[in-house]
């Protein structure tokens, strides 16, 4: 970051001396006011619940311009990455800072492929869950449990240990997600197949069975690979901030990622794709397109407690660029699977059309986000609704671990420890 010629001066109306703060600029985007000395010089904190105006760290991984609806991974725009490269290229890019050349790609793909199996002991962890356990409950448990298996790479100050942890997590998430799915179906786990692509291997572990050969559908493989790319990283969102804060204590990387999985599960965050599809299916079952207008009135009524899932975003105050790409993928997959007349997709398009015209949504800059169409694509592929957020976790693992690694690579990093505005009881003795 570069020291700006500009500076910020904080002055007080009560005569307290004013304080100057340095201003720093990044490569692009808003400058920051460095308030690290604020408490020491003023005995006051800033107050920013939800961190709407707070930069918690420096990062060079992902840049979002919410007003322009722009998303860059290491400077490359998401639409070019999602249409020109595959998810393994994106994992290499997000982890290492640039796209791999041919040799680097072969080496990286091989590293990931050779870590896709999980320790057989994890099968026993699965046996403890109910068959109808939510996949995110299972995944939170399994990812945390990985901490118990890799004692050979626990020195987080060692870049090689951090690298192998990243490879293991990226490689094993598809295996764990597929295991959670198979367990819920009462079907045997399918082992990874090293001759397949990362995404093809995941599809086979999900949908193959030991009784017959499984052929990966290239259209579905491409669509799912694109879904992984669109979900790979997203700046300092809630789950990434959770991973950073958890990791800042020096804990095990698998434990930190398990914390990210737990946070992503929430319906305001990664759980929105599942909630969005449930919303569309409920709408479809209760009058469909004819009832959309009535439903939208409910959404606009604050007392209804009904939110339009898949709409709105803390940062994007324009169309989420991922939603556009997801809608395009939706059309391609539905066409290739002869599902073009999918009533749910038509319903989603009608909901979007109304929302984009209705002043309630326009004034609040509520546009479709990444979760609005992703559920329809995943449902068309045959992925059950309750697995959508687990798929999101699979894709977001590379972003989480890259941000975790970036934090630990900064010699100045400290354990995160926010303060508070206390408004509870002041000192009192027990009578």
Give residues in contact with ligand SDX (CB under 6 A).
Answer: 234, 237, 268-270, 272, 299, 307-315, 364, 366, 369-371
CA dihedral 332, 381, 378, 330 (to 10 degrees): 10
Contact 232, 398 (CB under 8 A): yes
Residue written as token pair 């999985």: 261
Shortest distance, position 73 Cβ to ligand SDX, whole Å: 12
When the beta carbons of 201 and 389 are compared against ligand SDX, the nearer one is: 389
129 vs 352: CA distance, rounded Å: 38
**Phi, psi values for residue 117, rounded to 5°:** -75, 150
When the beta carbons of 100 and 260 are compared against ligand SDX, the nearer one is: 260
When the beta carbons of 34 and 65 are compared against ligand SDX, the nearer one is: 65
Shortest distance, position 304 Cβ to ligand SDX, whole Å: 10
**CB contact set of 189 (below 8 Å; sequence gap of 6+):** 123, 178, 179, 182, 183, 205
**Phi, psi values for residue 361, rounded to 5°:** -80, -40
Shortest distance, position 235 Cβ to ligand SDX, whole Å: 6
221 vs 219: CA distance, rounded Å: 5
When the beta carbons of 101 and 357 are compared against ligand SDX, the nearer one is: 357
Token code pair at residue 376 = 């329809």
Contact 283, 347 (CB under 8 A): yes
Token code pair at residue 17 = 């001396």
Shortest distance, position 237 Cβ to ligand SDX, whole Å: 3
Which residues share a beta bridge with 212? 209
Neighbours of 263 (CB within 10 A): 22
When the beta carbons of 204 and 234 are compared against ligand SDX, the nearer one is: 234
Residues with a catalytic annotation lie at 313, 371
Contact 300, 366 (CB under 8 A): no
Shortest distance, position 269 Cβ to ligand SDX, whole Å: 4
Shortest distance, position 164 Cβ to ligand SDX, whole Å: 26
Token code pair at residue 386 = 């309750």
Sign of the CA dihedral 42, 47, 48, 53?
negative
When the beta carbons of 174 and 312 are compared against ligand SDX, the nearer one is: 312
Task: Give the SS3 label for residue 61.
Answer: coil
């Amino acid at each position: 970051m570069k020291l700006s010629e500009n500076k910020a001066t904080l002055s007080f109306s009560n005569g307290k001396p004013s304080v100057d703060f340095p201003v720093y600029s990044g490569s692009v985007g808003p400058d920051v006011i460095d308030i690290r000395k604020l408490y020491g010089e003023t005995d006051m904190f800033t107050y920013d619940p939800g961190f709407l105006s707070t930069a918690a760290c420096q990062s060079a991984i992902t840049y979002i311009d919410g007003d322009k609806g722009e998303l860059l991974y290491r400077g490359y725009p998401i639409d070019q990455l999602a249409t020109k490269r595959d998810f393994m290229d994106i994992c290499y890019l997000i982890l290492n800072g640039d796209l791999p050349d041919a040799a680097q790609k072969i080496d990286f793909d091989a590293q990931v492929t050779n870590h896709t199996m999980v320790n057989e002991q994890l099968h026993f962890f699965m046996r403890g869950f109910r068959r109808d356990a939510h996949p995110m409950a299972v995944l939170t448990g399994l990812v945390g449990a990985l901490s118990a298996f890799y004692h050979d790479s626990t020195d987080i100050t060692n870049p090689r240990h951090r690298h192998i942890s990243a490879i293991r997590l990226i490689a094993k998430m598809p295996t764990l997600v597929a295991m959670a799915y198979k367990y819920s179906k009462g079907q045997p786990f399918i082992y990874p197949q090293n001759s397949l692509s990362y995404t093809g291997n995941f599809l086979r572990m999900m949908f193959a069975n030991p009784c017959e050969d499984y052929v990966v559908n290239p259209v579905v493989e491409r669509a799912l690979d694109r879904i992984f790319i669109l979900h790979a990283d997203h700046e300092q969102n809630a789950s990434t901030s959770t991973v950073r804060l958890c990791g800042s204590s020096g804990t095990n990387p698998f434990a930190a990622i398990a914390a990210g999985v737990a946070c992503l599960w929430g319906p305001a965050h990664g759980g929105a794709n599942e909630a969005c599809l449930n919303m569309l299916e409920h709408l479809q079952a209760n009058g469909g397109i004819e009832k959309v207008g009535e439903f939208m009135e409910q959404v606009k009524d604050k007392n209804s407690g009904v939110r339009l899932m898949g709409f709105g975003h803390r940062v994007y105050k324009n169309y989420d660029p991922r939603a556009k790409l997801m809608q395009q993928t939706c059309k391609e997959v539905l066409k290739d699977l002869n599902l073009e007349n999918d009533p749910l997709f038509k319903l989603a398009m009608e909901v979007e059309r109304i929302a984009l015209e209705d002043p309630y949504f326009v004034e609040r800059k509520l546009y479709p986000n990444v979760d609005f169409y992703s559920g329809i694509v995943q449902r068309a592929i045959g992925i059950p609704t309750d697995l959508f957020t687990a798929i999101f976790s699979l894709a977001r693992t590379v972003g989480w671990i890259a941000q975790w690694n970036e934090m630990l690579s900064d010699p100045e990093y400290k354990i995160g420890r926010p303060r508070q505005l206390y408004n509870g009881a002041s000192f009192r003795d027990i009578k």
